[in-house]
Amino acid sequence: MITRRNFLKKTVLGLAGAALPLAALEIVDHKKLLASVAAEKGAVRWVFLVDTYKCVGCGLCVKACKLENEVPYDASVTRTWVERYVVIRDGNVYADTPKGARDGFTTTKIDLNSAGFKDVKNKDIEQAFFVPKLCNQCDNPPCVQVCPVGATYQTADGVVLVDRAWCIGCGYCIMGCPYGVRFFHPVYHVAEKCNFCYHRITKGLKTACVSACPFGSRLLGNIRDPHDPVTKIIMTQRVAVLKEEYGTKPQVFYIGLSKEVK
């Protein structure tokens, strides 16, 4: 005999069973899952790795970058540069990057701009090192958010590009970048920035700075490829990024970064 209680119970059970989709019973295949993520996000996401211990401040990367990317050689703008940090025993930190280190560092005198030159004696140096800088190709690029016309954008493989035909030269992106990597191109009068040598990396070449670096201080990698040597270093070693607290998710990773580096 069907009681009212039994009838309600079976109705609820039947409805619940019918609502359960067949897909919920399928066993998840991790390879398929990874492939679907790759298909959605793309198989390539370019990242950069800088080893500050290896950098000797020769500046050959800056020279190569300027010539490769047609950045006017003698103008005081550059897509990449190398900073020198000298920490002396009394705790003071001096930093300079004369001409963006285009000609390297061939003097012990530190260029402090309007404050003149500071000659630090070698015996006073506690720590001294070089830090190459370039565009961080952030995952949350603030420079792209502020562009009012859609002239700067991020590609599927993570590189932030500037459309020279579309840029109106308002300069918001130059202000918006917390790393100061953007500048006005003196010839084209539009925003200009490092784009990981997009014309080279999409052809399977290394960036101009990576191939010019004699010491292997600069490396380019694909973070979506688990077998990429750069990915392995980022995943297994102690690396740091610049200005993490800004939430920009920068994709240039540094080995041997120190608190003095801003």
Partner 1 sequence: MKNHVLRPLFVIIGIVVLILLARLVYVPKDFGIGTRGYMYGWHRAANEEEWKAFKVKYLGREYCKDCHSDKYASIMKTPHRIIECENCHGPANDATSDHPSEQRLKLTIDKTREQCLRCHFPLPYPTSGRSKIRSIDPEKHNPDSECTSCHNPHNSMEGLK
HSE-up of 21 (CA within 13 Å, CB side)?
A: 3
- CB closer to partner 1, 64 vs 135: 64
Q: Is 150 exposed, middle or buried (0-12, 13-18, 19+ CB in 10 A)?
A: exposed
Which amino acid is residue 109, in one-letter code?
K
State which residue, 57 or 221, has the beta carbon closest to partner 1.
Answer: 57
Between 217 and 231, CB nearer to partner 1: 217
Strand (E) or helix (H) holding 113: none
CB of 102 to partner 1, least distance (A): 10
Buried b (16+ CB within 10 A) or exposed e, 7-42: eeeeeeeeeeeeeeeeeeeeeeeeeeeeeeeeeeee
Beta carbon nearer to partner 1, 29 or 123 = 123
Min dist CB 234 to partner 1, Å, is 21
Closest approach, Cβ 90 to partner 1, in A, equals: 16
In whole angstroms, the minimum distance from the beta carbon of 58 to partner 1 comes to 4
Tokens of 215: 């010491």
Q: Return the closest-CA partner of residue 161 out of 149, 152, 169, 172.
A: 152
Task: Return residues touching partner 1 (CB under 8 A).
Answer: 42, 52-60, 63-64, 67-69, 86, 103-108, 122, 125-130, 140-141, 144-145, 150-156, 161, 163, 165-166, 195, 198-200, 202-203, 205, 208, 211-212, 214-217, 256
Sign of CA dihedral 135, 139, 145, 150: positive
Write down the least CB distance from residue 16 to partner 1, Å.
Answer: 37
215: number of Cβ within 10 Å: 13
* Nearest residue (CB) to partner 1, 48 versus 196: 196
